[in-house]
Chains A and B, each alone.
Chain A
Amino acid sequence: MLAKIKWKLSEKMYIIPLIVLVIWTVTPMIWAFSASFKTKVEVYETPPTIIPNLMNFSNYMTVFNYDHFWRYLFNSTFLAITSTIIAVVASILAGYAFARYAFKCRHLLLMLILIPRILPRASLIVPLFAGISMVGLADTYLSLVITYTATAIPMATWILAGFFKVIPKSLEEAAAIDGAKSWQIMWYVIVPMSLPAILTVSIFSLREAWNEFPFALAFTQSQEMRTLPYQLFMLRDSMGMQDWPVVLAFTIVSILPLLILYLIFEKRVVNGITSGAVK
């Protein structure tokens, strides 16, 4: 009997780590979110309030009225979307080649394209910055689009190649017999069938670019070129006496677009990772 109770208890034990998981994950975010609606004074109150005394959106208004705020938002969006489109197209092509063609040095080349995954982004800024200034690309969108695209391609190629491999070949053969050209096969057969994988890869790439900081910090100088994370960093840097509610409102604004995107495709992304495609 006692053993049975013990067993039952231990059956339920997994709930404890789950509670830890929830608290661990949400505390920093809830605390920041709630403070973003508080007044400057309320933040200092002890004991702290989780639900603000008065929902006040003035911090968000301050953020939206910042000089260049909309420009930063545009920069982040533009860079994330452009680099993702280029990276995904290049990775579809390369992934298809690795999945379907038996060519010389295939394995070596696939390994080579994976090596950059163990190259730390931040550590590359010194030589990259030197090269970018040498060719006169410092402080341009192009410098960021190119570098963001390059860092997104290895993982995207790897995931897509793995996905293309499991698509039955017979579909392509049938299309070929019907006289479809290679690019038509790719566009009308392969791409529609791999939309889930393409979506996962795109979200990974969007996330990388949207959150990127070291490249933006090193390669741009003028204020109009800053991205949201860059400006958030400057905000924290420049305010002597920290206006926490405004800084936190800015933080929430910078997180939210990606979070909403993630909420829409959450299942896809989680399955994409847990199905073992990402390594």
Chain B
Amino acid sequence: MDAAINLKKQKRRKLLTPYLLILPGFLFVFGVLGYAVLYGTLLSLFDMDLMKAETGFVFLDNYIYLFQNAAFLNSLVRSLIFVFGSVSLGLVLSLFFALSLYRATRFGNFLKGLALVPYLVSGIATAVMFRFLFSGDVGLINQVLITLNLDAVNFLAHPNWALFVAVLTNTWFIVPFATLILLSGIQSIDPELFDSATVDGASKSKVLTKIILPLISPMMGISLVWLSFASFNMFDVILPLTGGGPNRATEVLAVYMYNVAFDELKYSLGSAVMVIILIFNVATSALYLKIFNTDD
């Protein structure tokens, strides 16, 4: 009798074990991140403003306000340009780098290691270094322009140039990880495929477009998700580089949200921007994975 109860107890304990094992991790993830999403969504439906006493349920008013607000619309457009620029430049560079790293025999490991270095540098440090590189008076780029007898450009004081520099800085920061993801895709291709293709007289570009690109398309999807995800939410690089300026030219959504919430203390409006950023992220990720992950 006792033995039977014991056995039952043991069995129940065995059933519970996996749930107990995942409990701490889930508590952290959902206690913090899940909470933030739910509470943020809720906040966005209310009118919570530290400057005003009353708070009330306003449903979609915050969203309607945003889409009629010139500063928000400007930031949305700037974000889209910023993301589009970073993702296209980032994808081209990381594909180039990954393909050449795959071919590199001498110093191959050293170069792979070097390629990842910017991934270890913080967004703030990246921004400071690029600010120095492109600064009006002491920047290397301007020093080179002057040495070549060209006119110096005050990059960060010019709206369009500043956005361009922001894209470049962001790309430097996000390309390494995408490069290694693509490299992992190329490395997993059976080398015999290349050999037989070359024997059959396939040209370089044929090998690239007919073998490599189709086979690494899942990895392309993942690196695109990474590139656009990192760009959409970019905050660390922009704030020290340009602070959103000049004239709001680089005020991407994350920076706009920070200013609304922490400078103007409009939490509800900030939360509404959060929800919009989240929707963009989920939508673009789903789109890329649908396009590139056809066989899954």
Residues of A participating in the B interface, judged by any CB pair closer than 8 Å? 10, 14-18, 20-22, 24-29, 31-32, 35, 43-44, 46-48, 86-87, 89-91, 93-94, 96-98, 101, 103, 106, 109, 112-113, 116, 118-131, 146-147, 149-151, 153-154, 157, 182, 207, 210-211, 213-214, 218, 229-230, 232-233, 236-237, 242, 244, 247-248, 251, 254-255, 258-259, 262, 266-267, 269-270, 273-276, 278-279
Docked CA distance A124–B185 (Å)? 32
- B115 contacts A by Cβ under 8 Å: yes
Docked CA distance A184–B79 (Å)? 51
Contact pattern, B 62-102, Cβ under 8 Å of A = 1, otherwise 0 = 00000000000000000000000000000001001101110
Contact indicator B204/A126 (Cβ below 8 Å) = no
Within 8 A of A (CB), among B115-133: 115-126, 128-133
Residues of A within 8 A of B240 (CB): 232-233, 236-237
Residues of B within 8 A of A93 (CB): 21-22, 24-25
- Knowing that A17-B100, A25-B114, A25-B117 touch, tell me 13 more A-B residue pairs with CB under 8 angstroms: A15-B100, A21-B97, A28-B129, A97-B22, A116-B34, A122-B236, A122-B258, A211-B125, A218-B258, A229-B122, A266-B113, A274-B183, A276-B188
Residue in chain B with minimal CB distance to A147: B32
Docked CA distance A118–B225 (Å)? 9
Contact indicator A17/B99 (Cβ below 8 Å) = yes
Residues of B within 8 A of A274 (CB): 112, 180, 183-184, 187
Residues of A within 8 A of B25 (CB): 90-91, 93-94, 113, 153, 157
Q: A211-B123, A273-B177, A274-B187 are in contact. Are A149 and B28 (CB under 8 A)?
A: yes
Q: How far is the CB of B162 from chain A (nearest CB, A)?
A: 15
Contact pattern, B 216-228, Cβ under 8 Å of A = 1, otherwise 0 = 0000001001000
Residues of A within 8 A of B222 (CB): 279
Contact indicator B133/A207 (Cβ below 8 Å) = no
Determine the main DSSP class of A at the interface with B.
helix
Residues of A within 8 A of B177 (CB): 273
Residue in chain A with minimal CB distance to B260: A126
- B282 contacts A by Cβ under 8 Å: yes
Residues of B within 8 A of A247 (CB): 128, 132
Docked CA distance A129–B22 (Å)? 26
Contact indicator B285/A126 (Cβ below 8 Å) = no
> Which of A25, A119, A242 makes the CB contact (< 8 A) with B278?
A119
Residue in chain B with minimal CB distance to A266: B113
Residue in chain B with minimal CB distance to A43: B138
Q: Please count the residue pairs between chain A and chain B whose beta carbons lie under 8 angstroms apart in the complex.
A: 280
Contact indicator A121/B138 (Cβ below 8 Å) = no
- B250 contacts A by Cβ under 8 Å: no
Residues of B within 8 A of A14 (CB): 99-100, 103-104
Q: How far is the CB of A109 from chain B (nearest CB, A)?
A: 7
Closest 5 CB pairs of A and B: A120-B233, A211-B122, A127-B40, A150-B32, A101-B18
Q: A119-B37, A258-B120 are in contact. Are A97 and B21 (CB under 8 A)?
A: yes
- B191 contacts A by Cβ under 8 Å: no
> Which of B18, B29, B96 makes the CB contact (< 8 A) with A103?
B18
Contact indicator A130/B267 (Cβ below 8 Å) = yes
Residues of B within 8 A of A43 (CB): 138
Q: How far is the CB of A278 from chain B (nearest CB, A)?
A: 7
Residues of A within 8 A of B234 (CB): 122
Docked CA distance A113–B120 (Å)? 25
Contact indicator B180/A270 (Cβ below 8 Å) = yes
A-B contact pairs, 26 of them (CB 8 A): A21-B100, A21-B114, A46-B143, A90-B28, A93-B24, A97-B18, A97-B21, A98-B22, A103-B18, A109-B26, A118-B225, A119-B278, A119-B281, A120-B233, A123-B257, A124-B37, A127-B35, A127-B271, A128-B36, A153-B25, A153-B29, A211-B123, A213-B239, A232-B122, A236-B240, A247-B128
Q: A94-B24, A123-B274 are in contact. Are A218 and B262 (CB under 8 A)?
A: yes
Residues of B within 8 A of A48 (CB): 140, 143
Docked CA distance A22–B114 (Å)? 8
- B111 contacts A by Cβ under 8 Å: yes
Contact indicator A275/B143 (Cβ below 8 Å) = no
Contact indicator B104/A18 (Cβ below 8 Å) = yes
> Which of A25, A154, A218, A267 makes the CB contact (< 8 A) with B115?
A25
> Which of A123, A157, A207, A266 makes the CB contact (< 8 A) with B254?
A123
